[in-house]
Amino acid sequence: MTTVTRSLSRNRAILFGYLLVVVLAIAGEIVSSGFLRINHIDELIISGGFIALVGVGQTFVILTGGVDLSIPWVLNTSAVFLTLWAKGDSAKMAWIVPVLLGGAAVIGAVNGIGVAFLRIPPIIMTLGMSSVVEGGLLLVTNGGSGQNAPGAAVYLATHRWGPVPVLAVLWLAVLVAATVILAATPFGRRLYATGLNRRVAAFAGVNIQLVTVTVYVISGIAAALAGIALAGYVGQSYLGMGDPYLFASVAAVAIGGTSILGGSGNFVGTTAGALALAVLAALLPILGLQPAALEIVYGCVILGAVALSSARKGQPDRTDLSAGLRRRLR
Amino acid sequence: MTANLGVQPGAGDRWRPPVRQVAADIWARTRSADVRPAAAWVLTLILLFIYAGLQPGTLSTSSLGILAADTLALATLGFGQGVVILTAGIDLSVGGVLALGTTIAATHFTGTATTLLWSVVILAIGTAAGLINGVLVGRLRLQPFIVTLATWSIFDGIALYVLPVAGGQVPGGFSGWINGSAAGIPNSIWILIALVAVWLWFRRMRAARRIYAVGSDREAARIAGVRIVPTLMTAYAISGLCAGGAALFYAMLTASGDPTSGDGLILPSVAAVVIGGTSLFGGQGSFVGTVAGALTLTLLGDVIFAVHLPSYWTVLADGLLLIAAVLAGSGLQALQVRRAGGGA
């Protein structure tokens, strides 16, 4: 019975996310006819795709009760090195992309090792890592911007197969993969167990260190992939291009109903969050609001979603096992 | 002997002079005392002497005044960040408040009257921002990092509305004040001293003791009668107020405003607190250490500049230093717990 109620409430959060997308899209069509033209829908899906790509990593990390603040600069580093090394030559991407994804995996692994083995709080570890990566990138580029993106990256980010953007296909593939991993593999179950209660998971035989390192590796790789796609979309790379994606990734996860404390949620929800944010971002200029409004909206959305989900659950202190035990013993 | 009520030592014990007792007592207390703030000051002094070796004249009053001026915004941010971290929280929104404060200063400070008026407004906005964070963290029991991440984004957005790109100007009298001096000592040093004095006064107050109590064991504090929500609200309000103050110092130093100025100071504000020996898990720490942490970070940038390395090294080094300080802090604590006999 409790399982049924819980699964219902979780799905309700996700349904709410998709409902939000529909309502916002209809609102867009009302204030500006043509908002739901197929071309513009493709634009919305593409801009949501970048949020979804960083969101998949953030979802995995947040499901274990962590957070990854290093996403923007990993993304930026990947974009800059892509343009720097390829010099517009798509053929070179055959070795550049594996190197970028591998490098990002190493950065993620270091984050994970810091959190899992050295017991550094995730915010601090990934904040520190973010600064290290930023500093490293600034040193390499000497503060200048990158070069033009190779054609294959542009193709990935902007080309359409008929009415379907290539990026939408990639997004769908990521969606299927993430959902299968989370819902139907032993790793997925271990991940949820770790997020629900590390200590109990460890007692139950889950290698929580391995799970933790793995999710940060996934987040690093996803951020690097987003960087490649974003460089293709913009046509070049520049410093600071990753900045909006910290708030966006967390906001998408929060709208998608994933608990910030970990242990419940999935990427189907984050997908709704990414779509909602993309529609919202397109809606604001139509309403005559400056781009600055987007940051305010991100903040309000995160606050609203988190407050709602905590009100729904009504038991926000799950992370502190000892406090919970003490309360029960009293 | 029969009339003895047990206060005398038994026949087999040797009488010990009380001096040894006292010495043992002091030794035990030193062993268990928190040495981390002192370690931070040692680190600061080492860096100061390295810098003095590289850059002759560093130890003159005016040079130290410039060092203090460069550290002021960070130290002020660290004051508030430290108070929040004492409650086992974190305040990422200080970046947003600082950015907003500098943009308001750069657009609204025109003369003496407006400067005074809008300074008060900036401090009030900071305090209000902190109160909002405190209510959300305390009353709704949301996680501090997610609340302050959200409000950071909101205040960054508002700052972009006030001043879309870096620029603007503050009156020369306002920015010049930081370089002035009183009684032969630069104003910046006076303010640092004043901040420490405020801390020493504050830590004796009941509010401070409540903050320490909530940070070291929230549930125990609640049972002991500490009201959690007002305590958290106080802590976050102090942090917001400090971020407002830091915005004023930042605007003095740069003589302008910048809507993105805050983002780069969030990590240093946490790093200053952690290098200064405050535990990220709450309940332990002091602003006396944080000042040393802030000075360390400033001096690190100065040393990097003095050896002609690109200034980007500072960004990288700040991140490494933060992680190293967290590791050193927890390592030191583990060592002390083991020395004290594990169970203590």
Stretch A71-94: mean pLDDT, rounded? 88
Buried b (16+ CB within 10 A) or exposed e, B143-179: bbbbbbbbbbbbbbbbbbbbbeeeebbbbeebbeebe
> B221 Cβ partners below 8 Å, 6+ apart?
B210, B213, B214, B228, B231
> Residue B267: its chain A contacts at CB < 8 A?
127-128, 130-131
d(CA B98, CA B103): 9
Q: Do B330 and A119 lie within an 8 Å CB cutoff?
A: yes
Stretch A99-111: mean pLDDT, rounded? 95
Q: Are A84 and A196 in contact (CB under 8 A)?
A: no
Stretch A147-153: mean pLDDT, rounded? 81
Q: What is the pLDDT of residues B262-283, one digit of tens each?
A: 888 999 999 999 999 888 888 8
Q: Do B326 and A135 lie within an 8 Å CB cutoff?
A: no
Q: Work out the burial of residue B233: count CB atoms within 10 Å of its CB; fewer than 13 is exposed, 13-18 middle, 19 or more buried.
A: buried
> Residue B152: its chain A contacts at CB < 8 A?
299
Residue B93 has pLDDT above 50, yes or no: yes
Per-window interface: B 64-103 vs A, CB < 8 A: 90, 92
Instruction: Select the more confidently predicted residue: B250 or A90.
Output: B250
| CB atoms near residue B1 (< 10 Å) | 5
> Which residues are bridge partners to A164 per DSSP?
A161
Q: Where are the domains of chain B?
A: 37-329
Please give the pLDDT value at position B5.
Answer: 47
Stretch B51-57: mean pLDDT, rounded? 84
Residue B32 has pLDDT above 90, yes or no: no
Residue A314 has pLDDT above 60, yes or no: no
Residue B162 has pLDDT above 90, yes or no: no
Q: What is the pLDDT of residues B98-111, one digit of tens each?
A: 999 999 988 888 87
Residue A148 has pLDDT above 80, yes or no: yes
Residue B15 has pLDDT above 50, yes or no: yes
pLDDT, averaged across chain B: 84
Stretch B62-87: mean pLDDT, rounded? 91
**Pick from A127, A142, A303: CB nearest B147:** A303
d(CA B243, CA B237): 10
Please give the pLDDT value at position B113.
Answer: 82
HEC letters along chain A: CHHHHHHHHHHHHHHHHHHHHHHHHHHHHHHCCCCCCHHHHHHHHHHHHHHHHHHHHHHHHHHCCCCCCCHHHHHHHHHHHHHHHHCCCHHHHHHHHHHHHHHHHHHHHHHHHHHHCCCCCHHHHHHHHHHHHHHHHHHHHCCCCCCECCHHHHHHHHCEECCEEHHHHHHHHHHHHHHHHHHHCHHHHHHHHHHHCHHHHHHCCCCHHHHHHHHHHHHHHHHHHHHHHHHHHHCECCCCCCCHHHHHHHHHHHHCCCCCCCCCCCHHHHHHHHHHHHHHHHHHHHCCCCCHHHHHHHHHHHHHHHHHHHHHHCCCCCCCHHHHHHHHHC
Q: What is the pLDDT of residues A217-234, one digit of tens each?
A: 999 999 999 999 999 898
Selection from B196, B199, B152, B198 nearest residue B295 by Cα: B196
- Phi-psi sector, A68: left (phi>0), alpha (psi -120 to 50), beta: beta
Q: Are B219 and B46 in contact (CB under 8 A)?
A: no
The three-class DSSP label of residue B182 is strand
Please give the pLDDT value at position A257.
Answer: 85
Please give the pLDDT value at position B9.
Answer: 47
Instruction: Flag whether residue B11 sits within 8 Å of chain A, measured between CB atoms.
Output: no
Please give the pLDDT value at position A313.
Answer: 61
Instruction: Flag whether residue A127 sits within 8 Å of chain B, measured between CB atoms.
Output: yes
The ipTM of this complex is 0.83
Instruction: Flag whether residue B314 sits within 8 Å of chain A, measured between CB atoms.
Output: yes
Stretch B332-344: mean pLDDT, rounded? 64
Question: Which one of B323, B327, B333 would you mutate to disrupt binding with A, by most A Cβ within 10 Å of its Cβ?
Answer: B323
Tokens of B158: 């508002």
CA distance B150 to chain A (A): 4
Question: Which one of B81, B149, B274 would you mutate to disrupt binding with A, by most A Cβ within 10 Å of its Cβ?
Answer: B149
Residue A321 has pLDDT above 50, yes or no: no
Per-window interface: A 64-83 vs B, CB < 8 A: 67
- Phi-psi sector, B168: left (phi>0), alpha (psi -120 to 50), beta: left
Q: Which of A43-52, A291-300, B228-237 has the lowest mean pLDDT?
A: A291-300
d(CA A290, CA A297): 11
Q: How many secondary structure helices (H) and strands (E) does chain B include?
A: 14, 2
> B43 Cβ partners below 8 Å, 6+ apart?
B275, B292, B296
- CATH number for the region A2-313 comes to 1.10.3470
Instruction: Select the more confidently predicted residue: A310 or B341.
Output: A310
Selection from B32, B29, B134 nearest residue B89 by Cα: B134
> Which residues are bridge partners to B186 per DSSP?
B181
Q: Do A323 and B218 lie within an 8 Å CB cutoff?
A: yes
Selection from B212, B224, B99 nearest residue B162 by Cα: B99
Instruction: Flag whether residue B322 sits within 8 Å of chain A, measured between CB atoms.
Output: yes
Instruction: Select the more confidently predicted residue: B11 or A309.
Output: A309
Residue A315 has pLDDT above 60, yes or no: no
CA distance B138 to chain A (A): 11
Please give the pLDDT value at position B30.
Answer: 58
Residue B18 has pLDDT above 70, yes or no: no
Residue B170's pLDDT band (boundaries 50, 70, 90)?
A: confident
Please give the pLDDT value at position A132.
Answer: 95
Residue B247 has pLDDT above 90, yes or no: yes
**Pick from A129, A138, A307: CB nearest B312:** A138
d(CA A60, CA A221): 12
Quote the DSSP letter at residue B164: S
The three-class DSSP label of residue B78 is helix
pLDDT, averaged across chain A: 86
**Architecture of the domain whose range is B37-329:** Orthogonal Bundle (1.10)
Q: Which of A64-73, A147-156, B18-27, B290-299 has the lowest mean pLDDT?
A: B18-27
Instruction: Flag whether residue A136 sits within 8 Å of chain B, measured between CB atoms.
Output: yes
| CB atoms near residue A18 (< 10 Å) | 17
Q: Which of A25-34, A118-127, B331-340 has the lowest mean pLDDT?
A: B331-340
**Pick from A120, A138, A323: CB nearest B323:** A120
Residue A292's pLDDT band (boundaries 50, 70, 90)?
A: confident
Q: Which of A35-39, A70-74, B169-173 has the lowest mean pLDDT?
A: B169-173
Instruction: Flag whether residue A135 sits within 8 Å of chain B, measured between CB atoms.
Output: yes
CA distance A292 to chain B (A): 5
Q: What is the pLDDT of residues A236-254, one digit of tens each?
A: 888 889 888 999 999 999 8
